[in-house]
Amino acid sequence: MRERHPRLSVRGPGWVAIWIAALALVAGCSGGANPINRLKARVHLKNGNLRYLAGEYLQAIRNYDAALRYVPQLAPACLNRAYSQEALFRVTNGSADRQQLATSAVQCFERYLDLLDHGAIGLDAKSPSRERIEEHILTLLVDSQQIDAAVDHLKARYERNPKDAAPLEILSRLEMDRGRLDEAMVWQRKRVEVTPQDPDALYSLGAFIWLLSYRDPGIAPATRTSLLDEGLGALLRAVEIRPDDFETLIYVNLLYREKAKFATAEAERGAYEARAKIYRDRALALRPAAPADSAGSGAPDSLRQATEAS
């Protein structure tokens, strides 16, 4: 099957029109780069695009490099060079080579973002946005196992826009995957701070707290009580916003069961178990509409495991 390629950034008139435009530029109608250099850069850009579409990524990169030597601000050449290195990364074996290619592609994407901010040649309405390019960067860093760099990238994105909740969710998941649960909790809480009325953020925090308590019986009693109360508070707020969400109701049930498990008085334990049953029954009444084996978008662990634990 023929490999699908990202859409190359191709901008400019046809071949004859390029020569006409070049003559106009030479006549003094252009500022910025030397008009002859612009023409040469466009030729290399076109040849690079043809090489890329043929799967000849190294040759494409050489053409884009030549284009950028003539016009360093030519954004399509910079962007397509990054796409070529990303494609080469996908077809390369060997962790060292892949990491080098991923790093180089990330640098090219970052250069493109810099051009977006500080002036570029060759952009148009179809040029990819910062958000789209940042997706490429993050995917490359994660796929090449450069998790520290991925975390730094997301932190920088958050610092640029503290109201953007998207990097906070990913940061929490990355830290969780490498066992840094305290750091994961920081980002979970920040996500709720940024979007206090988002039921997914509230649900994710509550589910994460259940996971911490369920997996670690050695948490100090006072700390556990505070955590469980925080998790329940988040989940109950989510229920107020989205009262018929199966996953949220299940985790309310599970957190009450955690409180019952560690209660010191029999009456207190019974009260928590009764509340757990109320929310479990509410969830099960919704089961035909939301199967128990469907994972919630913000759940840190499989919902099936959570349901079985109840």
Q: Do residues 200 and 185 share a domain?
A: no
- Whether 59 maps to a domain, the answer reads yes
Domain containing 64 — which CATH number? 1.25.40.10
Q: Are 184 and 172 spatial neighbours (Cβ–Cβ below 8 Å)?
A: yes
How do residues 133-180 score in pLDDT, each as one tens digit? 999 999 999 999 999 999 999 999 999 999 999 999 999 999 999 999
Contact 233, 202 (CB under 8 A): no
Asked if 36 and 131 sit in the same domain, the reply is yes
pTM equals 0.73
Q: Is residue 8 part of a domain?
A: no
Q: How many domains is the chain built from?
A: 3
3-state secondary structure of 121: strand
160 and 75 part of one domain: no
Question: Which range is least confidently modeled, 116-120, 152-156, 242-246?
Answer: 116-120
Within this chain, do residues 174 and 235 fall inside the same structural domain, yes or no? Answer: no
The pLDDT value given to residue 123: 81
Considering the domain architecture, whether residues 176 and 77 belong to the same structural domain is answered as no
In a domain, 238, yes or no: yes
Whether residue 113 sits in one domain with residue 161: no
What's residue 8's pLDDT?
63
Q: Give a yes or no: residue 64 inside a domain.
A: yes
Clarify whether residues 72 and 36 are in a common domain.
Answer: yes
157 & 201 share domain: no
The reply to whether 4 falls in a domain is no
Classify residue 299: in a domain, yes or no.
yes
Dihedral in degrees, nearest 10, Cα atoms 110, 116, 117, 121: 120
Q: Please check whether residues 255 and 224 belong to one and the same domain.
A: yes
Helix (H, G, I), strand (E, B) or coil at 74: strand
CA distances from 87 to 3, 83, 135, 153 (A): 10, 6, 15, 21
Do the Cβ atoms of 130 and 113 come closer than 8 Å?
A: yes
Tens of pLDDT, residues 16-68: 444 434 333 333 333 346 889 999 999 999 999 999 999 999 999 999 999 99
**Is 44 a member of any domain?**
yes
pLDDT value at residue 309: 53
Query: Same structural domain for residues 48 and 107?
Result: yes
Say if CB 71 and CB 121 are below 8 A apart. yes
- What residues make up the domain containing 58? 15-144
The verdict on 60 and 131 lying in the same domain is yes
Q: Note whether 155 and 136 are same-domain residues.
A: no
Q: Answer yes or no: is 138 within a domain.
A: yes
For residues 211 and 300, the answer to whether their CB atoms sit within 8 Å is yes
